[in-house]
Amino acid sequence: MFNDHLARGARGRVRAAFATAAAAGLAVAAALTFTNNAQAADTLGASAAESGRYFGAAVVPNHLGESGYVDTLNAEFNSIVAENVMKWDATEPNRGQFNFSGGDQLVAHAQANGMEVRGHTLVWHAQQPGWVQGLTGDDLRQAMLDHIAGVAGHYAGDISSWDVVNEAFEWDGSRRQSNLQQQLGDGWIEEAFWAADQADPNAKLCYNDYGTDAINAKSTAIYDMVADFLARGVPIDCVGFQSHLSTGADLSTYQANLQRFADLGVDVEITELDVGGSGSAQAEVYRTVTEACMAVDRCTGITVWGITDKYSWRSDETPLLFDGDYQKKEAYSAVLAALN
Ligand code: G2I
């Protein structure tokens, strides 16, 4: 089932359309199975797979030696993304010298356990190695293109979808004034997508951002960019909605926002879900997000940004599905119910 996501041959929109057709077929098959067995799957990954979707987690290789961590990962998830080790600072600490050790470890673990791998992230204003930060003009452009070729090329065939560009817009819908934007101009995003397409023609290519959990100025600017890319044949297949949320989040247009991107002709993915809070309030936000993904045919899966609260980047907000002792939280039950 996971391999269907990887089996896309052609590039650009043809690739995405094929994936959708495969997922739709799986959904019908899964529905029949479900009816016959009258029994829901009892893990996140297996439940998501019944509708042709994945359920993933951001993973840190250093924790794989901890039994609670790795046992929870292997039991519950069928997709992995690197929380940090595939970023530019980790993979190319010196110009032209690549370090794939952490990422390779994650890919090996995923493949040994039948999981997909999402790629995060090829180009981002943050977590750039020091040598990148001083570059200007065409020197920076060449460094970006070489980085994409090196990393996406190394992992070609192993990645279901790449976050090619991460967080390039401001809240008001303007471009973020990063070194990339200031040195390379508006064209840098599509240049990155063309380079990723060349390096790995089979991975789906995503734009990924936060604060896009509603129909708002930021998500609309991204929507306009995707529409423009599709109209001009720039290879983009998917949009990632990070969904770093809290219990107060206004999710009244969350599903409609996913749907408008799907209607444009790209897949949508929930890429970094976590919800600050606890108990039923937290569980309800998780339920709403999961139900929204399930209601949108082209929502291909959900990734939570970590496994256990104790290692979360916002651990003081206990935002994940498992507590510090790897016990399932109320939010876990809400997600499982929504997937089924
Ligand atoms: O900030 C939350 C996420 C927002 N979207 C993009 C994601 O890539 C981002 O993830 C976070 C990781 O969860 C953190 O773990 O990105 C941070 C910055 O890259 C990560 O934090 C960094 C620390 O800032 C570094 O000091 C540390 O060396 O993690 C690094 C590795 O542990």
Give the pLDDT confidence of 194-223 residue by residue, as tens digits.
999 999 999 999 999 999 999 999 999 999
pLDDT at residue 30 is higher than 60: no
- For the stretch 135-190, pLDDT in tens is 999 999 999 999 999 999 999 999 999 999 999 999 999 999 999 999 999 999 99
pLDDT at residue 2 is higher than 90: no
pTM of the model: 0.91
* pLDDT tens, residue by residue, 103-117: 999 999 999 999 999
Rounded Cα distance, 155 and 171, in Å: 32
Which of these ranges, 10-19, 100-109, 121-130, has the smallest mean pLDDT?
10-19
Residue 40 has a pLDDT of: 83
Give, using CA atoms, the residue closest to atom 13 of ligand 1.
313
pLDDT value of residue 36? 43
- pLDDT band for position 17 (cuts 50, 70, 90): very low
Q: Could you read off the pLDDT of 37-49 as tens digits, one per residue?
A: 446 899 999 999 9
Show the tokens assigned to 134.
């001083």
Q: Is 181 in the pocket of ligand 1 (CB under 6 A)?
A: no
pLDDT at residue 268 tops 60: yes
Answer yes or no: are the C-beta atoms of 191 and 141 closer than 8 Å.
yes
Among residues 83, 167, 191, 269, the one annotated as catalytic is 167
In order of 92, 171, 178, 179, 180, the CA distances from 125 in angstroms are 15, 16, 6, 7, 7
Atom of ligand 1 minimally distant from the CA of 312: 13
Per-residue pLDDT, 39: 66
What is the model's pLDDT at position 44?
98
Nearest atom in ligand 1 to 89's CA = 19
Is the minimum distance from the CB of 84 to ligand 1 under 6 angstroms? yes
C-alpha atoms less than 13 angstroms from C-alpha of 174 in its C-beta half-sphere: 6
> Who's near 32: CB < 8 A, 6+ residues apart?
none
User: Is 272 an annotated catalytic residue?
Assistant: yes
Q: In this predicted model, what pLDDT tens digit does every residue of 233-267 receive, in sequence order?
A: 999 999 999 999 999 999 999 999 999 999 999 99
